[in-house]
Chain A
Amino acid sequence: AQSVTQPDIHITVSEGASLELRCNYSYGATPYLFWYVQSPGQGLQLLLKYFSGDTLVQGIKGFEAEFKRSQSSFNLRKPSVHWSDAAEYFCAVAAPDSWGKLQFGAGTQVVVTP
């Protein structure tokens, strides 16, 4: 069965420290990959996406993600976290033949401490 796994439900990080959020997927073919962020009471904002090509992709707000085919992973990173990065982060995938239907992971809640 197709699945998207975010192993970390909750992560606490100090402001200025680096952040890495994990995402693993199980799909028959390499899907299209996305990271979204959700602030409290708001919808989802697209941070970055991977379709093909360079496996390191840059997104908005200083985020980047690396696609590793051998590990079926698409981990999100940020070198230095700001207090405004506190939010919930969702990894999402779309099968190439899904016509845009997204399957989301359960999300990772990020707390930023002073």
Chain B
Amino acid sequence: DAGVTQSPTHLIKTRGQQVTLRCSPISGHKSVSWYQQVLGQGPQFIFQYYEKEERGRGNFPDRFSARQFPNYSSELNVNALLLGDSALYLCASSRERAGNQPQHFGDGTRLSIL
């Protein structure tokens, strides 16, 4: 089976713009989570979606939003981009929504804000 796929792999935007990142989970996985990894730090939890509903949200401003589609793929949207939004955005999927379900990560989208 294919792993978690994310697109695009790299993206360059300017301050104030909006961006949409996409994620396709592993087949059969119903839970999708998004993480932000700033250079030199560990990933920080942004959102979790399960069965198309938001089930968890990290400490991120309302400029960040996401959704999950009927096929369990997901999009992360960030509005009014700031320089500090420059990061690697990781998507992870798991079969179910539970703490003991291993999260499988994609290779991420590298977002650079100029």
Please give the residue numbers on chain A whose beta carbons come within 8 Å of chain B beta carbons, in ascending order: 4, 31-32, 34, 36, 41-46, 49, 51, 90, 92, 94-107
A107 touches B101 (CB 8 A): no
A-B contact pairs, 25 of them (CB 8 A): A34-B102, A42-B107, A42-B108, A43-B106, A43-B108, A44-B43, A44-B92, A46-B102, A49-B102, A51-B100, A90-B43, A97-B99, A98-B56, A98-B99, A99-B56, A100-B48, A100-B98, A100-B101, A101-B33, A101-B58, A102-B33, A102-B43, A102-B103, A104-B43, A105-B42
Interface size class of B (residues with CB under 8 A): 20 to 34
**Majority SS of interface residues in chain A?**
loop
Chain B contact residues, CB within 8 Å of chain A = 4, 31, 33, 35, 41-45, 48, 50, 55-56, 58, 90, 92, 94, 97-108
Q: Contacts A44-B43, A106-B42; is A100 near B103 (CB within 8 Å)?
A: yes
Q: How far is the CB of A6 from chain B (nearest CB, A)?
A: 8
Are B90 and A44 in contact, with the CB atoms below 8 A? yes
**Contact pick for A32, options B44, B92, B99, CB 8 Å:** B99
Smallest beta-carbon distance A45→chain B, Å: 7
Q: How far is the CB of A51 from chain B (nearest CB, A)?
A: 5
Whose C-beta in chain B lies nearest to the C-beta of A106?
Answer: B42
Apart from the given pairs A44-B90, A92-B42, A103-B45, 18 other A-B contacts in the complex at a CB distance below 8 Å:
A32-B99, A34-B103, A36-B105, A42-B107, A43-B107, A45-B105, A49-B102, A94-B99, A98-B56, A99-B48, A100-B31, A100-B33, A100-B103, A101-B56, A102-B92, A102-B103, A104-B43, A107-B42
Which chain B positions have C-beta within 8 A of A31? 99
Q: Let me know if B97 and A100 touch, CB within 8 A.
A: yes
In the complex, what residues of B have CB within 8 A of residue A96's CB? 99-100
Q: Which chain A residue has the least Cβ–Cβ distance from B97? A: A99
